[in-house]
Chains A and B, each alone.
Chain A
């Protein structure tokens, strides 16, 4: 912690080795194999390092890292809305890995396409709950909500997603009753 505050490169390296995977996974799953993934990760890391002084309790470092990551991704989603107005083709999709089943690839692609049109808050909540698999309690802590608020917001996000997903034949087959 002190090393990070002092701007020690070795401490930054150690920090990356401890939290790099976590930050990468979160950004990757919230934005979905995004072409600007590395830039967003860099933004998160810089944000963490530049605001490390705000962390009062070192033992909650991991929660704090997750919280900063979520907030940065949320801001990135919002800023893209504006960027898209100026550069409509700015957010092209990075091809997903080839070593997975075609059904999975298709579902993932449609999933993120549907999320693309949703509010940043709903999008991150759905990503955290269903792709990353966080519990409601964890989401409440990381997003700074009361548990009831997290529950309510997530329910709204689910409804919004379902409404859109039903219009997509691929996603509809996943969310409809068997």
Chain B
């Protein structure tokens, strides 16, 4: 029995290693998109399934009939909009330039207002009932979305795409200097584009993100003068016993904000739900929400160095993840170094070496530093799960830092060990170079 179990474990490990952990990022993005669309379409009505059962058949029949009669017509129906003070009907695809010193206003049928600031140029590329796409080719565009549940709002500012998840924000694009910036005053936006992790970056209320397209350098922060954010989720997560930083992460003005609320209803809502400003939630709660850059802001407010000194291994790992996903490379490396220093014998300490190498390559472009850390991982875990990837990336790091001999040496070692590996093409191309 014991023997059989061991053999099955060995087989299971081989199977797990072979099939990996799931489909690629592209498919996951599609899943994410499908889920958000499903939830947006469903809305937030409380359900009484047992009451709905008798009505379900009727609804299904009606829906099928409608679908057959009006295939996709509704979703593709145009959304009207008007421009200027005299409310001229808007034309999709027509480019507008706001006169210097004066804003140009666009108003959509659903109440959403766009303000193209003086001297800025942009156009409405698509205006359908379920999707509106605005392209900003130069300048600043202020957006205040009304009906966040139904429509998907996309602002393309240069090569950057801002997807609004229900929101008021300001997007700017400086074509000459290739600088992008988004400042969110309310709700959340998803930003995608060069210099940002492929998954995109969610910028929350009061947050801003700036990217220099030429250098790929992304910076972000929290605007002190922003409006109080809209609540997003309940704070009712119990304190994690392992979360020893939770108390110190709380922002003291939490009570003040609710006391200052204008109406009883608003006060009631604020008491029921928590604000999601970074300092108020604690970095771990924000990490759990997937708001990584806010988690890092909150961690900074709580004292990043102190967190590094006292967090448990698991929490440190999560902090490093948050920093990596937020593109905060310095903080990511600090957290990974803290793992190596404080938990030297752990497998995560070994993996941290690989991750430092990866951050150095992808986010800092410090190829020599990356090479040192990747070598360290290979030395510490020659048969580890990331050994192949480390050696493959080592070839790349040597190549990009101009160390051709070392790159070729790594390539030979790679080909000798991983004949069918994923870096075979890179290794061969490096060896072909003379």
Is residue A142 contacting chain B, with contact meaning CB distance below 8 A? no
Minimal beta-carbon separation of B282 from chain A (angstroms): 15
Known contacts A16-B32, A107-B11, A58 near B238 by CB under 8 Å:
yes
Given contacts A1-B236, A3-B233, A13-B165, contact A130 B11 (CB under 8 A): yes
CA distance A13 to B187 in the complex (A): 13
In whole angstroms, what is the CA distance A14 to B292 when docked? 10
Smallest distance from the beta carbon of B410 to chain A beta carbons, Å? 18
Interface contact A101-B39, CB-CB below 8 Å: no
A157 to chain B, nearest CB (A): 10
Are A18 and B288 interface neighbours, CB within 8 A? yes
B18 lies within 8 A of A96 (CB): yes
Give min CB distance, B399 to chain A, whole Å. Answer: 20
Which of A4, A11, A27, A133 has the largest count of B CB atoms less than 10 A from its CB?
A11
Contact mask for chain A residues 139-178; partner B; CB cutoff 8 A; 1 contact, 0 none: 0000000000000000100100110000000010011110
Contacts of A4 in B (CB 8 A): 233
CB-CB under 8 A from A105, the residues of chain B are 18
Chain A residues 2-37 with CB under 8 Å of chain B are 2-14, 16-18, 20-21, 24-25, 27-29, 32-33, 37
State the interface size on chain B (CB cutoff 8 A): 60
Are A7 and B44 neighbours in the complex by a CB distance under 8 Å?
yes
Contacts of B31 in A (CB 8 A): 16, 20, 24, 38, 41-42, 45
Contact, CB under 8 Å: A100 / B35 = no
Contact check, B8 vs A161: say whether CB atoms are below 8 A apart.
yes
Contacts of B190 in A (CB 8 A): 13
Whether a CB of chain A sits under 8 angstroms from the CB of B58 is no
Q: B30 within 8 Å of A by Cβ? A: yes
Chain B CB within 8 A of A90 CB: no
Q: How far is the CA of A171 from the CA of B232 in the complex (A)?
A: 50
**Selected interface stretch from B20-28, B87-95, B115-123, B170-178:** B20-28
Task: Report which of A3, A38, A162 forms a contact with B23, defined as CB distance below 8 A.
Answer: A38
Q: Which of A104, A155, A174 contacts B18 (CB 8 A)?
A: A104
**In the assembly, what is the distance between CA of A104 and CA of B43, in Å?**
45
Main secondary structure of the interface of A (DSSP, over half): helix
Q: Is the CB of B273 within 8 A of A9?
A: no
A92 at the B interface (CB under 8 A): no
| Contact partner, A175, options B7, B21, B199, Cβ 8 Å | B7
Cβ–Cβ contact B39 & A12, under 8 A: yes
In contact, A42 and B35 (Cβ under 8 angstroms): yes
How far apart sit A161 and B30, CA to CA, in the bound complex (Å)?
A: 35
Known contacts A2-B233, A100-B18, A174-B7; A13/B32 CB under 8 A:
yes
Residues of chain A contacted by B291 (CB below 8 angstroms) = 14
Q: Do B18 and A25 touch across chains, with their CB atoms under 8 A apart?
A: no
Determine whether A131 belongs to the interface, using a CB cutoff of 8 Å to chain B: yes
Task: Report yes or no: A108 in contact with B420, Cβ–Cβ below 8 A.
Answer: no
* Chain B stretch 246-300: residues in CB contact (< 8 A) with chain A: 273, 288-291
Q: Which residue of the partner chain B has the closest CB to A33? A: B19
Cβ–Cβ < 8 Å partners of B56 in chain A:
none
| B-contact 0/1 string along A87-122, CB 8 Å cutoff | 000000000111111111101100110000000000
5 A-B pairs with CB atoms under 8 Å apart are A8-B233, A13-B35, A99-B420, A162-B8, A177-B3
Q: Which residues of B contact A (CB under 8 A)?
A: 1, 3-5, 7-23, 27-28, 30-32, 34-36, 38-40, 42-45, 47, 148-149, 165-166, 187-188, 190, 199, 202, 232-234, 236-238, 273, 288-291, 420-422
> A9-B36, A20-B28, A28-B21 given. 11 additional CB < 8 A pairs?
A6-B44, A9-B40, A9-B149, A13-B35, A28-B22, A49-B35, A104-B18, A107-B14, A129-B12, A131-B15, A131-B19
Residues on A facing B (Cβ under 8 Å)? 1-14, 16-18, 20-21, 24-25, 27-29, 32-33, 37-38, 41-42, 45-46, 49-50, 53, 58-59, 96-105, 107-108, 111-112, 126, 129-133, 155, 158, 161-162, 171, 174-177
